[in-house]
Amino acid sequence: MRDRLILLPGWGLGVSPLEPLAAALRGLDEHLRVDIEPLPELDSSDLEEWLDELDATLPDNAWLGGWSLGGMLACELAARRGERCCGLLTLASNPCFVAHDGWPCAMPAQTFDAFLAGCHADSQVTLKRFGLLCGKGAADSRGLARLLVSGAPNTPSSALKHGLDLLAQLDTREALLAYRGPQLHLFAAMDELVPAEAAGALLKLLPDIEVGLIEQAGHAFLLEDPHCVAGAIQAFLHECGDD
């Protein structure tokens, strides 16, 4: 199924932010089947349980991709599947979302801890704050934030908390190194959640993959200019198909 792409969404905001990109991709290639799969709603932050759920749900031998947390999970699933995954693409997905000594190009731990505490106190208020951060860097940042939050599903607070706990512990570097298929990773220069420096750090870790940095865009760049992002993805898919 080299003509099938599965996209996984980010934390909390559901599948809506990926729909314009999926439509743009379908418009560029009528033979490409693009499916957006919601993230699991599990009463657990155990990575293996999340991967078990995704592995059982998603078809084999497809391209795997995702935005933010969804991209990180796509990395882990691609490594688990190996040759059963055609290729990997991520959008605004840092190998480590929370900074530590081994990966400083990420959100400071103190900032994330405050965000996590806010989610425990009031998950809906935290989701709105998250939407504002996603919208930063866009031409109409508040309008984009409202669009993101208004399309968010009514996810139980417990599932949102487990998703954040998972995000805090994820480190996809080993998975990225282990996966031998083609990879494309797109970042945004004005991202408030994933520092642009992560793009260079990832390219240093894996010099043979494709990494792109989109200027004048924030974390939700896939919603700001879905046709531009779709063009980059289509070029990547066709290049790999010609190999």
239 versus 189: the higher-pLDDT residue is 189
pLDDT tier at 2, thresholds 50, 70, 90? confident
pLDDT tier at 1, thresholds 50, 70, 90? very low
Report the pLDDT value the prediction gives residue 240, as an integer from 0 to 100.
87
Half-sphere exposure of 24 (CA within 13 A, CB side): 18
How many whole angstroms separate alpha carbon 242 and alpha carbon 239? Answer: 5
3 state DSSP class of 100: strand
Residue 139 has pLDDT above 90, yes or no: no
Correct CATH for 4-242 of 3.40.50.1820, 2.40.110.10, 3.30.300.350, 3.40.190.10: 3.40.50.1820
The ranges assigned to domains in the chain are 4-242
Q: List, in order, residues 6 or more apart from 159 with CB less than 8 Å away.
A: 41, 42, 43
The per-residue pLDDT for range 121-132, each reduced to its tens digit, is: 999 899 999 999
Tokens of 59: 């078809």
Residue 170 has pLDDT above 50, yes or no: yes
Please name which of 165, 8, 206 lies closest in space to residue 198, comparing C-alpha atoms.
Answer: 206
Residue 177 has pLDDT above 90, yes or no: yes
Per the CB < 8 A criterion, the answer to whether 168 and 97 are in contact is yes
The per-residue pLDDT for range 39-60, each reduced to its tens digit, is: 999 999 999 999 999 999 999 9
Q: List, in order, residues 6 or more apart from 46 with CB less than 8 Å away.
A: none
H-helix or E-strand containing 86? strand 85-91
Residue 235 has pLDDT above 60, yes or no: yes
**CA 39 from centroid of its chain's CA atoms:** 11
Please name which of 232, 152, 175, 136 lies closest in space to residue 48, comparing C-alpha atoms.
Answer: 175
Tell me the catalytic residues.
68, 191, 219
Report the pLDDT value the prediction gives residue 239, as an integer from 0 to 100.
87
How many whole angstroms separate alpha carbon 125 and alpha carbon 123? Answer: 6
Residue 180 has pLDDT above 50, yes or no: yes
H-helix or E-strand containing 35? strand 33-36
Residue 211 φ then ψ, to 5°: -130, 130
User: What DSSP designation does 61 have?
Assistant: S
Residue 101 has pLDDT above 80, yes or no: yes
How many whole angstroms separate alpha carbon 134 and alpha carbon 141? Answer: 8
Query: What does pLDDT average to over the chain?
Result: 94
Report the pLDDT value the prediction gives residue 83, as an integer from 0 to 100.
94
Residue for token pair 């031409």:
139
Whether the pTM exceeds 0.75: the reply is yes
High-pLDDT (> 70) share of the chain, %? 98
Residue 116 has pLDDT above 80, yes or no: yes
Residue 159 has pLDDT above 50, yes or no: yes
Rounded to the nearest 10°, the torsion over CA 99, 100, 101, 104 is 0
Residue for token pair 């990926």:
18
Question: Average pLDDT in the 109-116 region?
Answer: 91
